[in-house]
Amino acid sequence: MPTLQDKPKFPQVICAGVVVADHLCPPLPHMPAAGELIAVDRLVLAIGGCAANAAMNLSKLGVRTRVVCKVGPDMFGRFVSDILEAEGLDKAGLRIDPENDTSQTLIINIEGQDRRFIHTFGANKSLSVADLKAAIDVQNPPAVFYLGGYLILPGLDAHELADFLAWLGTLGVHRVIDVATPGPADYLPRIKPILPHVDAFMPNEDEAALILGPGTPAEHASTFHSMGAKRVVITRGGRGAVAIGDDIAVEIGTYAVNFVDGSGGGDAFDAGYITGIVAGETVTQCITRATAQGASCVRGIGTTATIFNKTESDAFIAANQLSVKPLSR
């Protein structure tokens, strides 16, 4: 007869969406001119993408996590798979797309400027709702389902995704969605169907503006909430975040850290928030954890090199004050 120790440890969170191999440079003094060579101490090859970044944060924070993604049959796909395994993540949802290379991003950091990205969608573009549903064990559903990079995943039909999210809701799964927007486009037809089935919608302020047009982050959060999202958290980089929902309307500050590279900061924020949800914390505690993880991420080059583990995160939160101010509605 199986003992308690023999009981399978089912994933508490499923992280689905964009997974890439990132090529990063340290902050450069300027963009190279045509034909110019700038020497640096090192270039970094790292795993990246919303789903992988959030999953690695969650693993560091002690949350059992399964990754659902597509990679190609190439060396970068093997690299992604090996890193996920080394980080103790459940790879049961990783699939190989024989028709496409692994997605890659070239991230260029310039001192005092926001990052520049050159990206190939690769195998990510074949991720489907069927892939997402196949990763769910109905008898042992996760506490949280997270989809990162929605809007640059063309294989996800909005209405099929809405039905899937509604189904997850019947299983008691908390649904968290983040997006990525490559530039101006008509995104609302892909957003409106899903928001009534989303527990936390977490774009950054630039993404929110591309989706909705001009407005403040608080106005955008209120609009997304009126479209059906139960809670909306819009991140603002070094300016903090705003959160609006049935139970909250606040402006969140930031923690003072030595900023090196903003890559992955939003994904780390998402993971901190999800960790709080899994632990049954209040929304303010979830946002505090999220802000701490985001702060830990931007201290080094790459998306996960300097993220806090649970002990470090707890100590940082205890030692530092975070501003949380009410918003008038």
Per-residue pLDDT of 66-90, as tens digits, reads 999 999 999 999 999 999 999 999 9
How far apart are the C-alpha atoms of 70 and 77, rounded to whole Å?
9
pLDDT of residue 2: 33
Digit-coded pLDDT (tens) for 273-319: 999 999 999 999 999 999 999 999 999 877 888 999 999 999 999 99
pLDDT of residue 117: 86
Task: Give the sheet arrangement for strand 104-108, strand by strand.
Answer: 44-48, 20-24, 104-108, 116-120
Decide: 296 and 307 in contact? Cβ < 8 Å: yes
How far apart are the C-alpha atoms of 312 and 320, rounded to whole Å?
12
pLDDT of residue 264: 86
Q: With H, G, I as helix, E, B as strand and everything else as coil, classify residue 329.
A: coil
Retrieve residue 253's tokens. 């500050």
Print burial letters for 23-56: b (CB count within 10 Å at least 16), e (below 16): bbbbbeeeeeeeeeeeeeeeebebbbbbbbbbbb
Indicate the domain borders of the chain: 10-19+49-100+124-326
Q: With H, G, I as helix, E, B as strand and everything else as coil, classify residue 176.
A: strand
pLDDT of residue 329: 62
pLDDT of residue 262: 83
Task: Please report, for residues 28, 207, 235, 295, 322, the alpha-carbon distance to residue 258 in angstroms, rounded to integers and kept in the order given.
Answer: 17, 25, 19, 9, 16
pLDDT of residue 328: 75
Ranges of the chain with pLDDT below 70: 1-8, 329
How far apart are the C-alpha atoms of 169 and 240, rounded to whole Å?
30
Max distance between CA atoms of the chain, in angstroms, equals 70
pLDDT of residue 6: 39
Q: Which CATH class is domain 10-19+49-100+124-326?
A: alpha beta
